[in-house]
Chains A and B, each alone.
Chain A
Amino acid sequence: MNLQKVNRREFLKATGMTAGGLVMGVTVPMSLHAEEGETGFHPKVFIQIAENGDTTLYCGRAEMGQGISTALPAAVADELEADWSRVTVLQGDGDKKYGSQATGGSRSINEFFIPMRTAGAAMREMLIKAASQSWGIPESDCYAELHFVHNKKNKKKLSYGELSSVAAKLPVPTKPALKSKDQFRYIGKPLTRHDQDEVVVGKRTYGIDTKIPGLKYAAITHVPVYGGKLKSVDKTGALKMKGVVDVVEVERIKSPFSSLGGVAVVADNTWTAQQALKKLKIEWDLGEHKGYDSKTYLQDLIKNVESPAEKIFSRGDVDKGLEEAATRHSASYTGGHLSHSPMEPMASLAWVQDDSCEIWASTQNPQQIQQVIAIFLGRKEEDIVVHVTAAGGAFGRKGKCDYVHEAAAISKAVGVPVQLTWSREEDMRTGYYHSINAQHLEAGLDKDGNISAWLQRAAFPSIGSTFNPSLDRANERDFTRPIAHPYGIANYKLESGHAPAHTRIGWYRAVYDIFYGFATNVFTDELAQKAGIDTLTFLRNIYDNNKDPVLAKSASRCRGVLDLAAKKGSWGKKMPKNHGLGIAVHYSYNSYLAMLVHVETKGDDIKVHRVDCAVDCGLVLNPDIATAQMEGAVVMGLSLSLREDVTFRDGAVVNSNYHDYPVLRHNEMPEVHVHFVDNDESPTGLGEPGVPTFAPAFINAIYAASGKRYRSIPIKPMSV
């Protein structure tokens, strides 16, 4: 990392704010954030202590409910010995100055924790030095506490505000001393989030809420099939409506994050625009994917994994291992497309003028907006101003800015600022979906019931296909997780089956780990039954047998969460009839998760009574936010296990709204208990890792309760 003072001119340029007091810019290691062609000092975060003591962080990462705008400043404030009530966080606009702002992959905590603490500690030391000079005493006679530097000898104190300008003239310490764990004031404590007060009074402004003078409102309808385009549109009826400004055709541009193509109506308000859309007479050229039928396609995927496919990775000799095994077992598993369906549908405000372009959007990636709009307008990226608003849920969907491109295209066409709001139906039918998937697993067990060979074939349309449509199967990169799987089985082979994409595929909270975690953990439960060994013992044996030194730590942390979940959820206890416990463990995004699920079944009626989540994410920065992330992961996991299923017919999505894409509601919320492993490992992210363990633990619990083995999720798809 790099830590430097920022001068008045640089700070104004970067934040649009006037510098005063002490301002520090922080970068993160280049190895983690090698921006192409990036040289020199480019701070990702700015920290300012103003002359009145107000302390502000300018942070480029997007807040979408996961609490990042609380967790990172807490790390700074702790080392700085700041008074938490004096610290505010401002969300940075989209700008290369922050480095990559792509928020996803649960990376923010991993990358920023130590740099943030170091910055806080350096500033603390500078403030102490400023005070010691002012008093003419050694630094060792001073200490910092809650926004003041105190004089040990005479109990005098100077505030951070008073000291800030003097401190700004001092050199930045190169190796400031960080606190030890027992000295933490905020890290690991349930701090209040910064952004909650506004929420409960309806004052928090999301992308959909932005208003500026002269604003018009737009609604859009998209080409129903990926790769299709507009053939003709009769605008007459829409243009006749009172309050309609114009009808605008939006075309695809050469970017995977551009509009899918559609027709928009601009009007005095959203409702009029939505009504006028219905008056358009549109003919589409549906293109090459008009025959896509997801149910048939899934059957194809199953066939493709139940016969040899393209080798991705191999260790030892799987064929020989399977042949020599005392017992063999195989099974196939499937999952459908999923829609992110955040509560705030895609929405963005754009104002394109001849000499400027300003965007307001809830987004996980403001710089991508700059890139896409720059391509669209033929302008420079730095001339596209992107204001990042709060996101009303995202889950990966708002990392793709097709809706922002559309807002800009519409604004450019009509010459006024335009707020584009997608209807829920458009949101559901114009997604970047989680991959539909099939996997086939085969394993051999030795006479003691240990796994001696493991073959895993997966077929799913790759996210890479959204960038390179000729990609017709998942590649090595898509198999990153199983390649480094902590089981470390000696004879191990991964194969990728044919799976061309017929829709846009995108990142969905936990991405491929949803189905990798699912198949692996259900299969091991089946193997345990086959071997006549208790599942927990069977899993423990796998980790204990893993002699690969590279995987030793990963295996031991997996074993740790497994044991914690088993203990907290009382694995092995006698269950009443029709009740069962299921367990699963998964390592993803540098964090370790195990879940133990207790279900009761009455025929097809399944009730989840209790979930115990064991989490090893290293040092827990904020246990309350971390717990909330796990509660949310259980809800999403149960929701996608039960009913979530995007169905395509004739190339188009059949589902339309929450009535035919049912997501989990209050009445099915189980009791959730979250337990953290106490260790000194560095902190890792939790936005995604909770999701993959739920489905398999749930499915294994249903088996324990009823003897019924589900191998496809969702288990109760709605017929649409």
Chain B
Amino acid sequence: MSKKININGKDVSVDVDENMPLLWFLRDELELTGTKYGCGIAACGACAVHLDGAAIRACVTPVSSVIGKKITTIEGLSEDGSHPLQKAWLANNVPQCGYCQAGQIMGAADFLSKNPKPKEEDIDNVMSAHICRCGTYKRIKKAILEAAADMQEA
């Protein structure tokens, strides 16, 4: 029986060297390019995906370590871009070049699931694991606060 990873709800067979980081398996083998390469050393957060709901860095996660587990990428965060964070991101015109934003959103989604009523300081601390070179930090924080409020109402 072949080894499988559940990615965005679908079981995917793993037929690569299992030392390959999940990032390159997603990008080059499955052509799920929403997850970005930024640094390769877990320093920038561009490759954040969810492992059983918690954010991990795909660039330093060997495929072998996630076999049989559930991975969610930005493409699978919601069916139609309707996650409160995705909506808040658009409402605040957060992205500039947009390259880091998938990672930012995945990081924020994990954070909000654990901290539904975040303090600004907590957002600063947690989101500092993500770099945005265009400098969209102010809007990211505002979008996270709005999404949190939105999720409280729902």
Contacts and interface: CB of A to CB of B under 8 A. Distances in A.
Query: Is chain B a partner of chain A in the same complex?
Result: yes
29 contacts: A65-B134, A195-B98, A196-B90, A196-B98, A199-B95, A199-B98, A201-B74, A202-B32, A208-B37, A211-B33, A217-B28, A242-B17, A269-B16, A271-B21, A271-B28, A272-B20, A390-B97, A394-B97, A395-B133, A424-B40, A624-B93, A628-B93, A628-B96, A631-B136, A632-B136, A633-B135, A636-B133, A636-B135, A672-B138
A2 interface: no
B89 A392 contact: no
Interface stretch (A448-456, A560-568, A656-664): A656-664
Interface in B73-116: 73-75, 77-78, 81, 86, 89-90, 93, 95-102, 105
B37 A391 contact: no
Contacts of A65: 95-98, 134
B137 A390 contact: no
Contacts of B21: 271
B55 interface: no
A420 to B, nearest CB: 13
Interface residues of A, number: 63
Nearest to A392: B99
Interface in B1-42: 16-17, 20-21, 24, 27-29, 31-41
Given A203-B34, A666-B137, A424 B39 contact: yes
B152 interface: no
B145 interface: no
A341 B133 contact: yes
Main secondary structure on B side of the interface with A = loop
A343 B133 contact: yes
Contact of B135 (A67, A197, A632): A632
A466 to B, nearest CB: 23
Given A424-B38, A632-B136, A270 B86 contact: no
A658 B44 contact: yes
Main secondary structure on A side of the interface with B = loop
Interface string A173-212: 0000000000000000010110111011111111011010
A593 to B, nearest CB: 15
Given A343-B133, A628-B136, A666 B123 contact: yes
B139 interface: yes
A202 B73 contact: yes
A658 B9 CA distance: 33
B98 A392 contact: yes
A199 B46 CA distance: 13
B23 to A, nearest CB: 8
Interface in B120-148: 123-125, 127-128, 130-141
B149 interface: no
Contacts of B96: 65-67, 628, 632
Given A200-B105, A666-B137, A669-B137, 14 more contacts: A200-B81, A201-B77, A202-B102, A203-B75, A343-B44, A343-B46, A344-B97, A390-B97, A423-B40, A628-B96, A628-B136, A658-B39, A665-B131, A669-B138
